[in-house]
Amino acid sequence: MRFLVVGAGSWGTAFARVLLDRGHDVVLACHTPEQARAIAETGRNPRYLTHTDLRGVEAVPLEAAPGDVDVVVLAVPSRAFADVAAGLPGDAPVLSLTKGLDPGTGERLSTRVGTRSVAVLSGPNIAEEVAHGLPTAAVIASEDGYLAGQLQHAVNSSAFRAYVNPDVVGVELCAAAKNVIGLAAGAVDGLKLGDNGKAALITRGLAEMARLGEAFGARPETFAGLAGMGDLIVTCWSLHGRNRRAGELIARGLSPEKAVAQIGQTVEGITTAPVLRELSQRVGVELPITDGVCAVLSGESLSELVSRLMGRQPTEE
């Protein structure tokens, strides 16, 4: 198959490598002509996953992206997703790799691709490990069962195992919410609150995700699967996790802006937290950890937040 991967950050770069390893033709649309030129000339991304071999990828600037492809893979930040999707050439189906919500509308990103068929790939997929060929599992969700099966066959391998799931709503809400919980888990690390506290936070975070999903009609089993528990665990514990790292840096005294600058890549949880809070308020679902993350991002003391969360009225689990 012929794939257009839009977005040459870490995840776009790693996924281009996955597709190459499966024998597909891959066009990688880059944010700048300079990045595209560097990849074309050296077979390496000059900024992200610089040791990943991209020889065989056709690198082009975004404005030169071709329309004659079988699938468009979107691996761009959530804040840019809708605009990029609206400007895509051709009418090929879209596979979204972006984990977040549309900041302008609060909608799930799969709803922002117009009339194209759409699928969503999610799960515990740290880009650095995927690029190194380490064992990885992912879930592909779509209301179009044929598209989901086609994509599963296209990417499945001995190193990258793909499952299908019809629950697009649940998979996308998991992908958005887990980044916010990842920020909180990083703050636990930064404050040195211990593994007990971190495990409790992750568990209660999963409960938050499931409550929100239930309100939107998602399947409960999705939250116990790769897109839910699987992605949440790796996001909250991996040293590569940007959201976990940002939370740790904020807990150590950096502003959110300085934390993102030090990481040097998109931290989706910072964008998603206020959008997720607003979404939960629309449907009357309580998300105390998400509310707390928003409070800290707005300047509240982390110590005060921890005291408030631990001092909440005891209740049933």
Residues marked as catalytic: 178
Which residues have a Cβ under 8 Å from the Cβ of 197 and sit 6 or more positions away?
Answer: 188
* Residue in the structure block whose two tokens are 């300047």: 299
d(CA 292, CA 310): 12
CB 172 within 8 A of CB 219: no
d(CA 265, CA 242): 8
Identify the H or E element spanning 50.
Answer: none
CB 125 within 8 A of CB 175: no
How many Cα atoms occupy the beta-carbon half-sphere of 141 within 13 Å? 26
Q: Going by DSSP bridges, is the β-strand pair 71-74/94-96 parallel, antiparallel, or unpaired? A: parallel
Three-state DSSP at 36 gives helix
Q: With 0-12 CB in 10 A as exposed, 13-18 as middle and 19+ as buried, what is 175? A: buried
Q: What is the DSSP letter of 124?
A: S
